Amino acid sequence: MTGRGWPQLEPGEIGPHRIKDYLLRFAFGAAISLLAALVGMAVGPKLGGIFLGFPAILPASLTLIQKKAGKEEAAVDSEGAILGAIAMVVFALLVAVSVQAWGVVPSLAAALVAWTVVAIALYALVMAVFHREPRP
């Protein structure tokens, strides 16, 4: 993403990544998955499942973004992860309360729509409140 605003597709920015970058993401993902499994084994699958919702490669991605684009860009990406996680809670709650009454497919379809609407609305709200462009 360049600057502030709505996400943009920039095919020119897709280039070869170093093996070190992939290994770092793999290591963070494996460590977080291992932590989730250990928590699940220690206290049960419900609490362990919460840890599985953590984006496994987010710490590695933020580290790489900070190194390449700076702290500000990494902070913006972390905001997006937080907003997506909030929307995912809405998804999970909707599935939990509707799956027995509606069935799996309609429940997941409705939850996907809810996640999309909540994620976009939260993003628009955060951009409008916290990332306004200064007026000339």
Same domain, 25 and 75: no
> Are the beta carbons of 52 and 36 closer than 8 angstroms?
yes
pTM of the model: 0.62
Same domain, 47 and 109: no
Distance of CA 89 to the CA centre of its chain: 12
End of a domain among 16, 51, 69?
69
Same domain, 94 and 116: yes
Same domain, 117 and 77: yes
**Alpha carbons 22 and 25: distance in angstroms, whole number:** 5
End of a domain among 39, 69, 99?
69
pLDDT the model gives residue 113: 97
Residues spanned by the domain of 31: 1-69
56 DSSP assignment: T
Same domain, 37 and 99: no
Radius of gyration of the chain (CA): 18
Taking only the tens place, the pLDDT of each residue in 6-37 is 666 666 665 666 778 778 778 877 887 788 78
Same domain, 49 and 32: yes
> Are the beta carbons of 46 and 96 closer than 8 angstroms?
no
pLDDT the model gives residue 118: 96
Same domain, 42 and 59: yes
Could you tell me which of 87, 81, 89 has the C-alpha nearest to residue 117?
A: 87
pLDDT band at 134 (very low <50, low <70, confident <90, very high): very low
Q: Which amino acid is at 52?
A: L
Could you tell me which of 124, 125, 126, 28 has the C-alpha nearest to residue 75?
A: 126
pLDDT the model gives residue 126: 87
Same domain, 65 and 90: no
Domain count, the chain: 2
pLDDT the model gives residue 133: 55
Same domain, 64 and 88: no
> Are the beta carbons of 113 and 98 closer than 8 angstroms?
no
Taking only the tens place, the pLDDT of each residue in 34-87 is 887 888 888 887 777 666 666 667 777 788 888 888 888 888 888 888 888 889
